[in-house]
């Protein structure tokens, strides 16, 4: 008789993995500044340079006409849709890893920025948003 090895994972192991992931996400710097409301989540990089905060979103296959980008208070809002490129009727996939449909991302801006100087470009499937820092103006205060 052939023996079949079966590993049974109990609910406690699943729960501990979930708790571990929540704790890692909570203490990781990159996670608290990016969230998603629905749909798939495009990969994003958020980094700072000496003069600006930069946000790069991997949006390959997303039509620029479907993109919506807005800023309000301390948040940058990005939404759009990636439509499937096929239109062949009934299809059977062997593997499907690409996400399609609508997406939304909200990014918390961690520092004061100059909203009048924001620029964005879309090239080779990447959306690049540059948010220059707000220049602190020195104000002399007279002491009486």
Per-residue pLDDT reduced to its tens digit, 51-102 = 999 999 999 999 999 999 999 888 999 999 998 888 777 888 888 888 889 9
Nearest to 56 by CA among 47, 44, 41: 44
Cβ contact 76:69 at 8 Å: yes
Residues 11-28 have a mean pLDDT of 61
Angstrom distance (rounded) from CA 117 to CA 52: 10
> Given this model, what pLDDT does residue 32 score?
36
Domains of the chain: 30-85+98-132 (2.60.40.790)
> Given this model, what pLDDT does residue 33 score?
41
Residues 6+ apart with CB under 8 A from 99: 39, 40, 82
Phi-psi sector, 29: left (phi>0), alpha (psi -120 to 50), beta = alpha
**Range among 35-44, 89-98, 117-126 with highest mean pLDDT value:** 117-126
- 36 burial (CB, 10 Å; 0-12 / 13-18 / 19+) is middle
> Given this model, what pLDDT does residue 31 score?
38
pTM of the model: 0.67
Angstrom distance (rounded) from CA 26 to CA 99: 25
Nearest to 83 by CA among 121, 39, 123: 39
Residues 33-53 have a mean pLDDT of 80
* pLDDT over threshold 90, residue 120: yes
Tally of CB atoms within 10 A around 80: 21
Angstrom distance (rounded) from CA 76 to CA 16: 33
Phi-psi sector, 16: left (phi>0), alpha (psi -120 to 50), beta = alpha
């Amino acid at each position: 008789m052939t023996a079949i090895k079966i590993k049974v994972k109990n609910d406690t192991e699943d729960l501990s993995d979930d708790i571990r992931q929540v704790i890692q996400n909570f203490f990781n710097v990159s996670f608290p500044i990016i969230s998603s409301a629905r749909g798939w989540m495009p990969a994003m990089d958020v980094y700072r340079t000496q003069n600006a905060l930069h946000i790069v979103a991997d949006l390959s296959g997303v039509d620029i006409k479907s993109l919506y980008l807005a800023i309000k208070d301390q948040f940058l809002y990005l939404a759009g849709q990636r439509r499937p490129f096929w239109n062949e009727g009934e299809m059977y996939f062997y593997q499907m890893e690409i996400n399609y449909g609508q997406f939304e991302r909200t990014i918390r801006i961690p520092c004061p920025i100059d909203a009048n100087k924001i620029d964005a470009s879309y090239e080779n499937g990447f959306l690049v948003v540059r948010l220059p820092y707000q220049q602190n103006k020195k104000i002399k205060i007279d002491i009486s």
